Amino acid sequence: MTRPLMPKATAVWLVDNTALTFDQISAFCELHILEVQAIADEEVAIGMQGLDPVRGGELTLEEIRRCEADSSLRLEMTKAAADHAKQQKKKSRYTPVSKRQDRPDAISWLLKNYPELKDAQIGKLVGTTKPTINSVRDRTHWNIANITAQNPVSLGLCSSAELEKAIVLARARAGTGSAPAPSAAEGEQPVATPPVTAAPIAVTPGAQPVSMPPASTDVSPDTSDAADDAAD
């Protein structure tokens, strides 16, 4: 369940202005029930101004009345507020302080090996900003002399699955998803095969075609007698 923007201030308002049970308020604000009870007893959040969830669009009066009538029900946040809360959760990648000095090395490696990656993809992979990426690309980074290209996966800035996914997406956008055909070896010239053409037959103008006599299968008597004599 998505919690309100300011859980404790919302709990203060619900305690003061509704007949909801501590359990219902605790479930909606994601606070411990003892903390809600302490708010009601003015042991904590003393002087804190309550935040109206109805005015903020997180709840409706109808939803509050519905849950007041049945203590077993739970408050449900409005869809618009829930969608907004989910978008707020999508923050940039957090990079530990010990690894932040490695980000320029990772940026240099990505720019060198995968130029098809967009700056937004690189920033998401290693948790950096576009100005830093541009400074490494233009070699204007303040520590450019000490930057050594290194794989961000080996540096622990991203996983191999995340890197592979980003590369596939970038190549699909660029239309270079298929691997290029292997090129010929250096210094080797391709051998050109000449086309085979049939020699034209010259025909004399006005000449009549020569007809060949049909082959005869009959054997003349003289030839037969000569063959018998040779056999004898």
Tens-level pLDDT at each residue, the chain (232 residues): 577 878 899 999 999 999 999 999 999 998 999 999 999 998 888 878 888 999 888 899 999 999 999 999 999 988 887 776 666 555 555 666 667 789 999 999 999 999 999 999 999 999 899 999 999 999 999 999 999 999 998 888 888 888 989 999 998 988 865 433 333 333 444 444 445 444 455 544 554 554 555 554 444 444 444 444 444 4
Phi, psi of 108 (to 5 degrees): -60, -40
198 found inside a domain:
no
Predicted pLDDT of residue 5? 78
Q: Can you tell me the distance from the alpha carbon of 48 to that of 8, in angstroms, rounded to the nearest whole number?
A: 9
Predicted pLDDT of residue 116? 92
11 found inside a domain:
yes
Residues 23 and 49 both lie in one domain = yes
Predicted pLDDT of residue 177? 55
The range of the structural domain enclosing residue 55 comes to 7-89
| Counted domains in the chain | 2
Task: Decide: pTM greater than 0.85.
Answer: no
Q: Can you tell me the distance from the alpha carbon of 36 to that of 44, in angstroms, rounded to the nearest whole number?
A: 9
Q: Which of 174, 193, 223 is the last residue before a domain boundary?
A: 174
71 found inside a domain:
yes
Predicted pLDDT of residue 228? 47
Q: Which of 98, 61, 86 is nearest to 3 (CA)?
A: 86
Predicted pLDDT of residue 213? 52
Residues 20 and 46 both lie in one domain = yes
Predicted pLDDT of residue 159? 86
Residues 45 and 103 both lie in one domain = no
Q: Which helix (H) or strand (E) holds 26?
A: helix 22-29
Q: In the numeric block, which tokens belong to residue 90?
A: 């999508």
Residues 29 and 66 both lie in one domain = yes
193 found inside a domain:
no
Residues 85 and 27 both lie in one domain = yes
Residues 58 and 75 both lie in one domain = yes
Predicted pLDDT of residue 6? 85
- Say if residues 81 and 121 touch (Cβ distance below 8 Å): no
Residues 108 and 72 both lie in one domain = no
Residues 73 and 101 both lie in one domain = no
Q: Which of 43, 62, 89 is the last residue before a domain boundary?
A: 89
221 found inside a domain:
no
Predicted pLDDT of residue 221? 47
Residues 103 and 158 both lie in one domain = yes
